[in-house]
Amino acid sequence: MFSSFIPPRQVKIGDAAAFVGTTPRAIRHYHEIGLLPEPVRGGDDRRRYGYEDMIGLLWIRRMADAGIALDDIRDAFADTASAGADSDDGIAGILERLEETLIAQEAELRRQRTAVQRMRTEGSRMGLLSDFVTSRLKSLPEGSLHQADLDSLLVTERIFGPLGAAVQATRFVALATHPDLREDSDRIDAAEEALDDTIAVDDPRVARVAAERHAFETALHAVIEDSGLAESDDALFDSWEDTLHPATDDEGEAEAGPSSGRGHESMSAFEAIGKMPYDFSPARLRCMELAEELAAHESPAS
């Protein structure tokens, strides 16, 4: 005896959504993004879904429940559509592509999590620098580095890479371990900042601050030499060449760390410098020029 129940050949969108466990709005979205072909419409101009449509909806629902992005599902279906996805081989191809996508996403999530954990461990600003740079700073007393120091290293690493920033870190190591130098540095920094737009370039204060800057830089250089920090700079170059310096540019970005410009368009140091703004007044720029002139004219024997 046959059952009196006769299954429908097609169902409306509400019934299809209820069976699959989603909403009509979600199904309409599948159509909009090209994930599911538009079905035939009945005489009332409403969508009608047949058996194959329901199978497709069940596939989409199961994959979405697994956390797979709709765009990835669509791309996987599109890749196998021309070859035919009705066979087990076609389905296997879809799953293989989706697994490859998930593996790539998992690797990226691990990288992001590692970066966040490192920032939490090192401190938010220190953690933005690469390991090659922070290794130069880890032994310093807590609080001995200024925020401006770390900001400066962040900019330098973006322009010149980890090696350039690690060399610059020598300066901040010397300041952090010599309170008298740090005090002089802060005083001269404040004097330079005071050379704002209200100060004329020929104001005597400009030349005076330039002379103070030159004297300070000379004293700082002497401390770096006497303390052996200059020798550690030489070791940095050897370490970079032996263990970290990449064979290719792409590898270099991978090794350099979170601040090396990973994910950003590559540019030369000259281009990068030209894109980094500094709000220096004409008087302050003139002060910098004078300090450089003093350094250039100083006798090497003095």
- Mean pLDDT, rounded, of the chain: 82
pLDDT for 80: 61
Whether 140 contacts 169, CB under 8 Å: no
User: What number of helices (H) and strands (E) belong to the chain?
Assistant: 13, 0
pLDDT for 223: 93
Which amino acid type is present at position 77?
F
Residues of the chain with pLDDT under 50: 1, 85, 247-263, 302
pLDDT for 28: 94
Cα-Cα-Cα-Cα torsion 41, 46, 50, 56, nearest 10 degrees, comes to 100
Q: What angle do CA 182, 173, 242 make, to 5 degrees?
A: 160
pLDDT for 253: 42
Cross-strand pairs, 93: none
Q: Kindly state the DSSP code that residue 12 receives in the 8-state scheme.
A: -
Q: Tell me the C-alpha distance between 15 and 112, whole Å.
A: 42
Q: Cα 181 vs. chain centroid, distance in angstroms?
A: 34
Residues 6+ apart with CB under 8 A from 217: 291, 295
pLDDT for 102: 83
Q: Tell me the C-alpha distance between 283 and 200, whole Å.
A: 6
pLDDT for 91: 63
pLDDT for 71: 84
Q: Kindly state the DSSP code that residue 128 receives in the 8-state scheme.
A: G
pLDDT for 18: 93
